[in-house]
Structure 1
Amino acid sequence: MMKSAEFDGDVVIAGGGLAGMTLALAMDQAGLSVALVDALEIEDQLAPSFDGRASALAYTSWRMFEALGVAEFLKPYTQRIEHILVCDGRPYGGDKPGGPGPHTLHFDRREISEGEHGEPLGWMAENRHSRFALIQAIKARPGIKVFAPARAERHETRGDGVDLFLEDGRYLSGQLLVACDGKFSPRRRQEGIRTAGWQYGQKGLVATVRHSEPHNGVAYEYFLPSGPFAILPLPDNRASLVWTEPDAVADALKDAPEAVFQEELENRFGDFLGDVRPEGPRFAYPLGLKYAERFCEERVAFVGDAARGIHPLAGQGFNLGIRDAAALAEVVGEARRVGLDIGALLTLRRYEDWRKFDSATLAAGTDIFNRLFSNDIEPLRQLRGLGLSLVNKIGPARRFFMRQAGGETGDPPRLLKGQRLDAA
């Protein structure tokens, strides 16, 4: 005789990373009972060097964090992004320092947000601090049941629900299973959903640096022959680097002696922020594009990297997962209020239709930009430089790109507008 489920409710979420925790809070606010499963102890994710990464939260993502009660825990650790400068990087080597090149596309938050303290283009936060804030918000919501550390082994769908079986013999039951388990999602593989995509032969080298001059809330994204080089502002005269290089070069830089790394850093970073020094460990992550042919099946939905993984040059990976969570929670919450089956394919298709266009647009855009800019072909270099300068002169185009990156185009879910899902 089968023993009873450890959880028998509405939604089971497999994967307790940033997207999974955000979704749990959104589902709870929408009035659904939620179980969250992750392979790691939640507290383990607070380690200072958990993965080295930082994320740029679009202003609509921040509105959602405010509505979910996350922002109050995160705000002390954030840096406002006031400007974004996109440009071809200057050549480096010899007596030519690196840094931003002459052709620049400048995004200024004052074009879309009024007032000295108006809404910024985004907020930068180290992932460990985002995790901390999400965990604090989850602890304040007793309706969210956390199972961690616990590994999901398999799932089984049935007529009126779905069961997630854990490696330790326990199982959780719900009407809907949501996979937030990453780009190699075991739940997606079990469902037999194919993916399209490829590896870029590049890795993103991630490191934190401290510089002597203030960044003034400016984020830089400039393109070198090896790939994008992003300088993302953090509090206290620090910046998070996402430095793209071919696989072998990135691995060598990650393990290079400090003096060698310092020299290579200065060659690319330049001196426009004064002296720059690395701070903390370095990490290297393989880069690729992966896109699932479907974002749902009967009783199973896919969120975040389980639905698609894109190149980080636009800093949109985590934001896409947040938008997924906002849309799915709204769809499922509305279905519950009108008496529909929250795990039925007809219900989940609404979520898929809502999210696929935005996902495909960003996936294609980041892929094209990476291929266009990751080279040193002189005619192409001149053409793209002129293209950046031209767009920079067209105000409506600049504002459109800012709003698109912010997640405000199309029909944003309520949470991205800062509206709570439990409000009348």
Structure 2
Amino acid sequence: MSEKRDLLILGGGLVGMTLALAAARKGISSHVVDRADPADLTADGFDGRASAISTASWNLFTNIGLAERLEPHGCPIQSIAVSDQLRPGRLDFTPEPHEGSLGRMFANRELRLALFEAAKAEPLISWNSKVEVTARSRGEHGVEATLADGHTVAARLMIAAEGRNSPTREEAGLVVAKWDYTHRAIIAGLTHELPHENVAWEIFYAQGPFALLPMLDDADGRHRSALVWTVSEADAAGVLKLSDRAFLAEVEKRMGDIFGAVTSVAARSSFPLGFHHTARITAPRLALVGDAAHGIHPIAGQGLNLGLRDVGALVQVLADGMKLGLEAGDAQLLARYEKWRGLDAFTVALATDGLTRLFGVPGRTASAIRRLGMAGIQRTPVLKNWFMDEARGVTGDMPELLQY
């Protein structure tokens, strides 16, 4: 058996590894266990899988020492344009120059590279990759996981960071409210004729949102964006099988002349869209973070940021408690984490679900009403600033690690 550490983090993805690094900054040790091969997750090439990192999440990366490594690879989001089917009445969110950007876009590969490099160099992180968990146990005095290679790792607190289908959450019997949107997100990297001017586009169609997210130009100076196109589950297989030429024709039809001609598309991937939210995010000696606790529609690009807010809150709760002599699995600390994160995560989840349903109502009348509402927001600076602060993640009770 390995040495007993403070945390046993099951899942070493973007949220799980950020948690391990943030904890290490506070002197909290961890075992990280993940079944994926890091080499597969950091393979060369841009396939469109990217994440919007809010201002608050960027503060977290800065505070754990990753900003300098990541800065050259991030594309600032200077404005967000929201449109109903490219009809008149567009809504623009553009902060004042002194307020900075609304966030940054990163290829997921670059985020993983930075996290993995830092984790390898951190002695407080024991990283077990390419290995399955065959058994989990939580007892009065600690937690353990048995790995497929026969190795056992022990800690004081178990953290489920395995994503939407978390086996740890299921084994713990934590109740999940969920539903399927019967839609699928098609992901691809695009190169296009005109520069995106650092504008993120969210174009709503009755079939689902069509998002174009700004990425840095490639090495040859070609302009790039990440596409997240929501289609019905029934149409997804057909869209994925389209030839590149036919796929680009469909994309150009939906994006109009925003970026001129689309010149190429990278490999396409997809994932089903659904909503889930756990009634509780803790159990004895167990905490959930990220998609293990809450899964939302990518409509506002807040999924990863919601998980990083979990990270900031959990690390602050643990660090504060350990200063008082409490150990990481103490029930008082888990209760504080539950109270802090439960309402915020639920509020964001409901907001994204509501937006998805609102813009999914078909018909000209519904479109006209939506555009009238958007025009009202466009003319109301207080409302626009509130929405921008929400996008930045700088509202509410922010953990210290997410503050500048």
User: Which TM bucket (shorter chain)?
Assistant: over 0.9
- Indicate if the aligned counterparts of 1:7 and 1:35 stay in contact, CA closer than 8 A: no
Matched letter for residue 6 of structure 1: S
Cα distance in 2, alignment partners of residues 175 and 278 from structure 1: 50
Tell me which residue corresponds to 1:149: 130
Structure 2: which 5+ runs fail to align? Answer: 218-222
Tell me which residue corresponds to 1:77: 73
2:334 is the counterpart of 1:348: yes
Q: Counterparts in 2 of 1:187-198, with a 5 A limit?
A: 187-198=168-179
Q: What's the secondary structure of 1:101's corresponding residue? A: coil
Deviations 1:191-233 (A, max 9, x none): 0011001000100000111111111110011101210011000
Question: 32, 38, 45: which one pairs with 1:36?
Answer: 32
Cα distance in 1, alignment partners of residues 264 and 323 from structure 2: 52
Deviations 1:129-150 (A, max 9, x none): 1101111221232221100111
Tell me which residue corresponds to 2:113: 132
Structure 1: which 5+ runs fail to align? Answer: 90-99, 419-424
Tell me which residue corresponds to 2:83: 87
Question: 258, 261, 264: which one pairs with 2:244?
Answer: 258
- Indicate if the aligned counterparts of 2:244 and 2:265 stay in contact, CA closer than 8 A: no
Q: Counterparts in 2 of 1:11-410, with a 5 A limit?
A: 11-48=7-44, 52-89=48-85, 100-110=86-96, 114=98, 119-236=100-217, 237-410=223-396
Alpha carbons of structure 1 residues 72 and 140: separation in structure 2 relative to 1, 3 Å: farther
- Indicate if the aligned counterparts of 1:73 and 1:136 stay in contact, CA closer than 8 A: no
Q: CA RMSD in A?
A: 1.3
Cα distance in 2, alignment partners of residues 288 and 147 from structure 1: 30
Cα distance in 1, alignment partners of residues 194 and 243 from structure 2: 25
Q: What's the secondary structure of 2:287's corresponding residue? A: strand
- Indicate if the aligned counterparts of 1:209 and 1:278 stay in contact, CA closer than 8 A: yes
Residue 49 of structure 1 deviates from its aligned partner by 5.6
Residue 414 of structure 1 deviates from its aligned partner by 0.5
- Indicate if the aligned counterparts of 1:224 and 1:375 stay in contact, CA closer than 8 A: no
Cα distance in 1, alignment partners of residues 300 and 336 from structure 2: 26
The 10-residue stretch of structure 1 (224-233 or 339-348) with the greater mean CA deviation from structure 2: 339-348
Deviations 1:281-311 (A, max 9, x none): 0011100001111101111100000001000
Cα distance in 2, alignment partners of residues 32 and 59 from structure 1: 25
Deviations 1:352-372 (A, max 9, x none): 111111111111111111111
- Indicate if the aligned counterparts of 1:288 and 1:310 stay in contact, CA closer than 8 A: yes
Cα distance in 2, alignment partners of residues 7 and 75 from structure 1: 35
Cα distance in 2, alignment partners of residues 327 and 395 from structure 1: 30
Cα distance in 2, alignment partners of residues 165 and 105 from structure 1: 52
- Indicate if the aligned counterparts of 2:317 and 2:336 stay in contact, CA closer than 8 A: yes
Q: What's the secondary structure of 2:384's corresponding residue? A: helix
Residue 248 of structure 1 deviates from its aligned partner by 2.2
Cα distance in 2, alignment partners of residues 154 and 189 from structure 1: 13
- Indicate if the aligned counterparts of 2:8 and 2:159 stay in contact, CA closer than 8 A: yes
- Indicate if the aligned counterparts of 1:46 and 1:128 stay in contact, CA closer than 8 A: yes
- Indicate if the aligned counterparts of 2:186 and 2:231 stay in contact, CA closer than 8 A: yes
| Number of aligned residue pairs | 399
Residue 396 of structure 1 deviates from its aligned partner by 0.8
- Indicate if the aligned counterparts of 1:7 and 1:171 stay in contact, CA closer than 8 A: no
